[in-house]
Structure 1
Amino acid sequence: MLPDKNILIELANAKMPFGKYQGRYLIDLPEYYVVWYRNKGFPKGKLGNQLEQVYELKLNGLEDLIRNIQKQNLKLR
């Protein structure tokens, strides 16, 4: 089953809302930080779901999928 493209587009535009990495795209968070959240427990709600998706993408080496969406969005502007 393919992921919903709208979810991927939203994830490509999602930024960290707080902390040391505030304002950074979730896909650009350091891997150790995402793994730390995985071990600690992802936050509840949308942010937690997005961080979990980022974890899975990084785990499977698919970050470029999101980066390509970001590049396409820049071209459209």
Structure 2
Amino acid sequence: MNMAPDKDKLIELAHYRMPFGKFKGRYLVNLPEPYLIWYQQKGFPDGKLGILLKSMLEIKINGLEPLIYKIQKDFPR
């Protein structure tokens, strides 16, 4: 089983913005961790957004936000 991260998916995650709600327009990496935990408890949305929110929560829990900021800088849209 290949566990290597998919470069294109990481770039998409780094540049994805919240499409609605209180934090509309913010990069997912800039969402507060308690907001992501709330989604985890409530249930992540279906589809791509839910997958990206869940991934971002794991990144934040593990203190890997600098990785996302570096991707944003090195691979601008």
Structures share fold, TM-score greater than 0.5: yes
Match in the other structure for 1:21: 23
User: Which 5+ residue runs of structure 1 have no aligned equivalent?
Assistant: none
1:11 aligns with 2:25: no
Residue pairs, 1:37-76, within 5 angstroms: 37-74=39-76
Structure 2 runs not aligned, ≥5 long? none
Higher helix share: 1
Q: Identity over aligned residues, as a percent?
A: 60
In 2, Cα distance between equivalents of 1:38 and 1:63: 18
CA distance in 1, matches of 2:10, 2:19: 18
TM-score when normalising by structure 2: 0.92
Q: Number of residues paired by the alignment?
A: 75
